[in-house]
Structure 1
Amino acid sequence: MNSRKVVYLFFSTLLIGSISGAIVGLIIEFDVYTAGSFLNFVFGLIWLLGISAAFSLISQMGFFAYLTLHRFGLALFKSQKLWNYVQIILVAFVVFDLIYFRYIAFAEPGETILHYSVMPILLLAFGLLVAYLKAKDTNQGAFIPALFFIVVVTTIEWVPALTVNDPKWLWLYFAPLITANTWQLLILHRLTKKES
């Protein structure tokens, strides 16, 4: 992959993450950003784009860290099959943790564990969809790594918002992460494909 493609990947991911975070931020607190003058909206939008850009940069760091980790895992386990099993176990562990530990830490009277199951199950379902698309575009061997990246790496990047447990920050942080991670995963093979 040449430097032009690396620059394209960087800036396109930054733009997609920033816009998605700004849209979600505007939806969450539409009244706050539209109250008062037009400048209030402009400065609020600039703030949302900036904070979302920061989160999409975290996503990019996580993506390149995972590419390194994936190669390390293949070398350590000396078998893609065994490394895939390890990744599946880690995906299951992370989904369980997202449900159980958040429930233990943040559940209020009257809340059941089902309240804390929705978001992790949706993340897993989205991960399965993205992994299917990645495998369809490349090869079946890409399914488990793609699922691992979307579920596990996104969750690791999302930890600061998860520990606060403020719905506004959960979604404001999550939107740029998941869109940037999805974009990077689905565009990488197109950028690295040899031109004939």
Structure 2
Amino acid sequence: MTSRNWVRLFMTTSLTGGLTTAIVGFIVRWKEFQPYFTEFRIMDILSTTIWLIVMGFLFSVISQMGFFAYLTVHRFGLGIFKSVSLWNAVQSVLILFALFDLVYLRYVNFAKSGESIFPYFLPAVVLLLVGLIVSWFKVKQTNPSAFIPALFVMVVVTLVEWVPVLRVNERSWLYLMMFSLMACNAYQLLILHKLNSQSEKDRQKRSHQSGSNKDNPLKGKINKRPSI
């Protein structure tokens, strides 16, 4: 990816995180912020919005660090297992363990005496459903082998990024960070291959303009459809 497209990815992902956090923040903490609107407290609305957007920027940075860390791990995994299908099988097992831990560990650590385990399934179900939808779109845009890596990012990577809030288990922050991370990770997954393709076209264009296209091994080639 060219530096220009990397900056574009960083800025748009940050914007995605900021807007998502602002919207979700007002929804999940509506009881707290409702007086700002009913009493027309414009300064309070603006300051709260700015604060939520800044928090969204922070969440987006966490998302981007986790996403690029996974891209490195993904390449290592393909190199170690020497097979896309085997590496995908390993990731599938890790996805199942992550979902199980999300339900079981939260229930063990935070459930009150006699409380049912079923409410603790909700975040895991939401995470899985969103992951399946995003992975389906990723496959439509690239190839079938991208399904499991995309689902791994949406489930396991999101969970790892989500750990600081999961340990506190404060409801509003739980969902605030969850939806922001999911939005940022989904955006990065669905835009990455487009930016990589555009970066390659830009390099070919510059090479052609500089007169070196004749000896360029990338001449006339477009990068193969990615595995993620």
Q: Same fold (TM over 0.5)?
A: yes
Deviation at 1:2, TM superposition (A): 1.6
Question: What's the TM-score, normalizing by structure 1?
Answer: 0.95
The 2-side partners of 1:27 and 1:147 are apart by 27
For CA contacts below 8 A with separation 6 or more, give which structure has more relative contact order.
1
Question: What's the TM-score, normalizing by structure 2?
Answer: 0.82
The 2-side partners of 1:50 and 1:189 are apart by 28
The 1-side partners of 2:122 and 2:11 are apart by 32
Please state if 1:119 is matched with 2:145.
Answer: no
Deviation at 1:34, TM superposition (A): 4.5
The 1-side partners of 2:135 and 2:91 are apart by 13
The 1-side partners of 2:34 and 2:121 are apart by 33
- Bigger Rg, which one: 2
Please state if 1:175 is matched with 2:183.
Answer: no
Please state if 1:90 is matched with 2:104.
Answer: no
| Structural mapping, 1:21-40, within 5 Å | 21-35=21-35, 37-40=41-44
Number of residue equivalences: 196
Equivalent residue number for residue 63 of structure 1? 67
Deviation at 1:28, TM superposition (A): 1.7
Give per-residue Cα distances to partners, 1:56-103, cap 9 Å, x unaligned. Answer: 110000110000010011111121111111100000000000011111
Q: In structure 2, which of residues 70, 75, 80 is the aligned counterpart of residue 76 of structure 1?
A: 80
Deviation at 1:191, TM superposition (A): 0.9
For 1:104, give the aligned amino acid. Answer: V
Deviation at 1:111, TM superposition (A): 2.0
Task: Name the CA shift for 1:96/1:31 in 2 (closer, same or farther; >3 Å).
Answer: closer
The 2-side partners of 1:140 and 1:64 are apart by 21
Deviation at 1:27, TM superposition (A): 1.2
Identity of aligned residues (%): 49
Greater Cα shift, 36-45 or 143-152 = 36-45
For 2:35, give the aligned amino acid. Answer: A
| Structural mapping, 1:112-191, within 5 Å | 112-191=116-195
Point out where structure 2 has 5 or more consecutive residues left out of the alignment.
202-221, 223-228
Greater Cα shift, 30-39 or 131-140 = 30-39
Deviation at 1:35, TM superposition (A): 2.8
The 2-side partners of 1:23 and 1:122 are apart by 18
Greater Cα shift, 101-110 or 140-149 = 101-110
| Structural mapping, 1:36-51, within 5 Å | 37-51=41-55
- Contact 1:127/1:151 (8 A) holds in 2: yes
SS in 1 for 2:113: coil
Q: In structure 1, which of residues 105, 111, 116 is the aligned counterpart of residue 109 of structure 2?
A: 105
Give per-residue Cα distances to partners, 1:15-60, cap 9 Å, x unaligned. Answer: 0111001111111223433435321111111111111110111000
Point out where structure 1 has 5 or more consecutive residues left out of the alignment.
none
For 1:30, give the aligned amino acid. Answer: W
Please state if 1:19 is matched with 2:19.
Answer: yes
The 2-side partners of 1:42 and 1:128 are apart by 36
The 2-side partners of 1:191 and 1:155 are apart by 25
Deviation at 1:159, TM superposition (A): 0.5
